[in-house]
Structure 1
């Protein structure tokens, strides 16, 4: 019988040859161990992925927790309790509690168009322009009274907006100061274009995206927001998760998310997502938490054992929507779990 590592290599190579993605990275290990148990990359020389919504779990979530701790508040505090005063948002929006927005149970819509007539690539917007656009659109977004479990990009755009306005600095340098992290946002990386793995042709921008965020809303904000914009290599994701484990705030962040995972049935936690859905039910017996990214990225970890698995790809290179990613992710994380043993 083939080893999990060999099966993974064969699976990823086969999918790459069929054109489903041009690059993929997998890793498994334990957060409290320096070296991974398994690490494999297939693709060109480029190594930097568009991590997409992993931004929510790796940037926005930790920064919200840092902010709450600095204000001596808990996650049930309304947004108004820590929001800056120099903003103009509806009072009803600011009365949402922080845990409702972090956990995707706020009543905010899943998505809203921020980029229409604002995705002008001739001139990159200033941060003031980007934050102004966020505020303008957030002021007219409807949200319902039913606070059901609904994954919401809008909620994390709101959180990113509040964080930047409060700190008076962009999310990337603030995170660098708060936690030692080995990756960043594409606009701040300043790497040659060839370092980035492409994510396909954008009909709106009329070019192949390489080192440019795939998400249109994030692009309209200049490439940085609370819901997307993070870029990094595969090893940088695991290095960052391990850096969180060495940081007292990071440990609190892990523990807060795992408590919600154990105490509730909701899919959204407090920055992380529950890992027992159709995409990762076979990793750590469904006891994991982590996040998915639209471009073809994912990570899951089990807090009690410190087991983790990472799968990064540019699956959007073969089409914006493909149900195949769910089946591929399940196979990948099953094999990553098997590579770690019982």
Structure 2
């Protein structure tokens, strides 16, 4: 039965990915499905298409810009530090960011910030008017000052998905520990789970050998060049390529293993993550789908499809990435694409994602 199930899942993945390539949803894609069976995680990896125009085929070890899939990693690091008493979610923003002292955002808590309920605006193009060298201390300080002004009192307590909140959280974690964000995520999340070499902030890598496996993400008007092996998000690039909202790269298997660790914790297989912390992070807050670093399934029109469990949690990335975890089925589905290589405005992924997820669920449940 196990082999039959793996074959069903593999066929469903291959059909979906080949269809997405042929319809121009993305140049290529890498997917991984993990399921818990007989005390171990079993993974099915499938890839299809090309890394990009004029490049070789996608292989299972292909590296993709994870975009906002960075946020769950940063949130997991924050929860680990909270568990150890290094970072307090119930403290106000000004406790670690004195630049916010006297500003309305200064009294909001890190819990509110990281669950997208602090009143921060969704996004702002800081890179467009950046008066300093990207990645410099001056650039980072200027962006922080500007960010703190992008706040709306009427939005406090209401869900507004915010990149700004996670940029701010990244700053806070660095200040709480005195360590660079990339080191924190590797030390607190990737290394304890055993795959610190498989996911990384690209800007923090000294070697470039992995670049030949990396899927490009198209043209950046601001940087006036095609992007490959550097972050697609221009605000993240302005911050030096490492930020709380974007900047991580990785393979589908590595992301799936990260999701599997979350699901395992919810079933009492603690590992490096406490069950109560994972439950806190993955639980939807009232009035929206966001948890702390994770999104839940929407009641209607979910991007996770119709068949995944109501308690599922996951996240999307602008570049065309996604992860969804179904704790009841003990199933993790990861889709990595570079749909932005076609165009940032390529919206075909919106229809593809739920169909892809439903196909995986049907294969798992034996109805496909």
The TM-score with structure 2 as length reference comes to: 0.81
Structure-2 residue corresponding to 1:266: 288
Tell me the matched-pair count. 332
Contact 1:28-1:337 within 8 A present in 2 as well: no
* 1:141 equivalent in alignment to 2:150: yes
Partner of residue 118, structure 1: 130
Q: Does 1:235 align with 2:253?
A: yes
Shift of 1:35: 4.2
For residue 53 of structure 1, the aligned residue among 64, 68, 80 is 68
Q: Distance in 1 between the 2:307 and 2:201 partners?
A: 28
Assess if the C-alpha contact under 8 Å between 1:149 and 1:266 holds in 2: yes
1:291, 1:255 → 2: CA distance? 15
For 2:155 and 2:346, the matched residues in 1 are separated by 30
State yes or no: 1:70 paired with 2:75: no
Deviates more, 1:294-303 or 1:200-209: 200-209
Corresponding residue for residue 54 of structure 2: none
**CA–CA distance in 2 between the matches of 1:173 and 1:273?**
25
Q: Do residues 105 (structure 1) and 138 (structure 2) align?
A: no
Secondary structure, aligned partner of 1:284: coil
1:191 Cα deviation after fit: 2.6
Match of 1:319 in 2: 343
Per the TM alignment, residue 31 of structure 1 is displaced from its structure 2 partner at its CA by: 5.7
- The residue that corresponds to 1:202 in the other structure is 220
- The residue that corresponds to 1:89 in the other structure is 100
State how far apart, in whole Å, the 2-side matches of 1:45 and 1:305 are.
Answer: 29
Task: State how far apart, in whole Å, the 2-side matches of 1:340 and 1:173 are.
Answer: 37
CA contact 1:300–1:308 (8 Å) conserved in 2: yes
Say what the alpha-carbon RMSD is for the aligned residues. 2.6
1:291·1:300 contact (CA, 8 Å) conserved in 2? Answer: yes
**Which residue does the alignment assign to 1:20?**
25
CA contact (8 A) 2:64 2:249 kept: yes
Counterpart pick for 2:297 among 263, 270, 275: 275
Q: Does structure 1 retain, via aligned residues, the 8 Å contact 2:231–2:247?
A: yes
User: Offset of 1:251 from its aligned partner?
Assistant: 3.4
Please state if 1:36 is matched with 2:42.
yes
What residue in structure 2 maps to residue 178 of structure 1?
Answer: 188
CA distance in 2, matches of 1:160, 1:118: 19
Q: Distance in 1 between matches of 2:131 and 2:35?
A: 41
Residues 228-280 of structure 1, C-alpha deviations (whole Å, 9 max, x = no match): 0010011111223345545343534321124x33x734211011011235211
How far residue 8 of structure 1 moved from its aligned partner, in angstroms, is 3.0
Alignment partners' CA distance in 1, 2:139 and 2:354: 37
CA distance in 2, matches of 1:248, 1:22: 36
The match for 1:220 among 230, 238, 241 is 238
Greater RCO, 1 or 2 (C-alpha within 8 Å, sep 6+): 1
**Residue 283 of structure 1: how far off its partner (Å):** 4.5
- Please list every run of 5 or more consecutive structure 2 residues that lacks an aligned counterpart in the other structure: 1-6, 50-56
- 8 Å CA contact 1:21, 1:314 repeated in 2: yes
Give unmatched runs, 5+ long, in structure 1.
none
